[in-house]
């Protein structure tokens, strides 16, 4: 062992432990005696296949970074393009109304009216077998979806007193038609579907109500077919 040129300073041990020093060294030696030398490094060469793997990885990385960098622009979020996205003009008839109706129902309606259409007793009225849903005309239902409904009402003879929010600014005419068609033809309901154009007409007709919800009485006062 090469002694260091400057002798190390004496270990600063806790003064309370000084009387133990001799004893401690003796015990410690037992532990240290079986201890192997401090680790050192071998000099095995790097396997060639490893270098090849790394080369391949670097090539892939370069390719991927070059291909999917979005032009390094702040407002490009789609890794496959390098410019701003083009407005997607939906080709007419591309939407499957059945799928749209079910998905809209699950996202917007099911939290209250439940996936089963049964609603929650005393809170949210049922749609399945409901006397409000299984009607010949659908104008009233379109009005409810667009503007919501608040205050006391009766469904299948059961009283409810809650608020349904307006959906006018949240969903499209297509969605209103699709979801109402879904509601009127699920869980044993067998009422006719709702055409998109009818929704448009009623949306225009009720424009001045903005987002003010209906009450049951007001709705009863408007004829079902308008």
Partner 1 sequence: MNSQSSPSLRQALTPSDNDSSPERKALLAEIDASCRRPVLFMFANGLLWLMAGTALALLTSYKMHSPNFLADWSWLTFGRVRPAHLNTMVYGFASQVAIGVAIWLMCRLGRVPFMQGGLVVGATIFWNIGVTVGIVGILAGDSTSIEWLEMPGYAAYILFIAYALIAIWAIIAFRFRRERHLYVSQWYLLAALFWFPWLYSAANMMLVIDPVRGTVQGAVNWWFAHNVLGLWFTPIGLAAIYYFIPKVIGRPIHSYFLSTLGFWSLALFYNWAGIHHLIGGPMPAWLITVSVVASMMMIIPVVTVAINHHMTMVGHFKKLKYSPTLRFIVFGAMSYTVVSLQGSSMAIRSLNEVTHFTHYTIAHAHLGVYAFFTMVMFGSMYYIVPRLALREWPSARLISIHFWTTALGILLYVVPLSVGGVLQGLAMNNPDIPFLKTVELTKPYLVTRTFAGILMTVGHTVFAVNFVWILARRRKAYQPPVPFIAAGLQQEAGAQLGKDI
Partner 2 sequence: MKYGPLLFLGIFLTLASSWVGLTVIPQMQFGGLQTTKIEETGRDYPLNTWGAASKGRELYRANGCIYCHSQQVRPQGFGADIERGWGTRRSVSRDYLYDKPVFLGTMRTGPDLTNIGQRQPSVDWHLSHLYDPQITSKGSTMPPYRFLFEQRKIGAKPSPDALKLTGEFATPPGYEIVPTENAKDLVAYLLSLRADAALLEAPLGK
Name the residues that contact partner 1, by CB under 8 A.
1-4, 8, 11-14, 23-47, 50, 53-54, 57-58, 60-61, 64-65, 68-79, 102-103, 106, 110, 115
Element (H, E) at 163: strand 158-164
Residue 46 sits in the site that holds partner 2 (CB under 8 A): no
Secondary structure of residue 56 in the 3-state scheme: helix
Closest to 119 measured CA to CA, from 166, 168, 183, 171 = 183
194 near 172, Cβ under 8 Å? Answer: no
Compare residues 80 and 190 and give the one whose CB is closer to partner 1.
80
Q: How far is the CB of 105 from partner 1 (least distance, A)?
A: 10
Q: How far is the CB of 32 from partner 1 (least distance, A)?
A: 5
Distances (CA, A) of 137 to 91, 174, 207: 30, 18, 20
Q: How far is the CB of 156 from partner 1 (least distance, A)?
A: 25
Q: Token pair for residue 194? A: 């709702």
Compare residues 41 and 204 and give the one whose CB is closer to partner 1.
41
DSSP state at residue 127:
-
Binding site for partner 2 (CB under 8 A): 74-78, 84-88, 90, 103-104, 106-108, 111-112, 120-124, 161-167, 170
């Amino acid at each position: 062992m090469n002694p260091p040129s400057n002798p190390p300073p004496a270990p600063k041990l806790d003064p309370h432990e000084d009387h133990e020093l001799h004893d401690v060294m003796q015990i410690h030696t037992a532990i240290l005696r079986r201890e192997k030398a401090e680790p050192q490094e071998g000099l095995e060469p790097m396997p060639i296949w490893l270098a090849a793997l790394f080369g391949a990885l670097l090539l892939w990385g370069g390719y991927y970074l070059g291909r999917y960098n979005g032009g390094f622009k702040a407002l490009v979020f789609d890794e496959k393009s390098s410019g701003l996205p083009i407005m997607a003009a939906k080709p007419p008839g591309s939407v499957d109304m059945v799928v749209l109706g079910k998905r809209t129902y699950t996202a917007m309606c099911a939290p209250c009216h439940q996936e089963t259409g049964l609603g929650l007793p005393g809170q949210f009225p049922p749609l399945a077998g409901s006397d409000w849903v299984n009607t010949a005309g659908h104008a009233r239902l379109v009005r409810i979806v667009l503007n919501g409904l608040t205050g006391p009402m009766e469904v299948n003879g059961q009283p409810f007193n809650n608020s349904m929010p307006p959906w006018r600014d949240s969903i499209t005419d297509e969605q209103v038609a699709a979801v109402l068609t879904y509601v009127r033809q699920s869980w044993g309901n067998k009422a006719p579907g709702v055409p998109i154009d009818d929704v448009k007409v009623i949306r225009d007709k009720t424009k001045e109500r903005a987002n003010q919800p209906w009450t049951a009485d007001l709705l009863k006062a408007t004829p079902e077919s308008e």
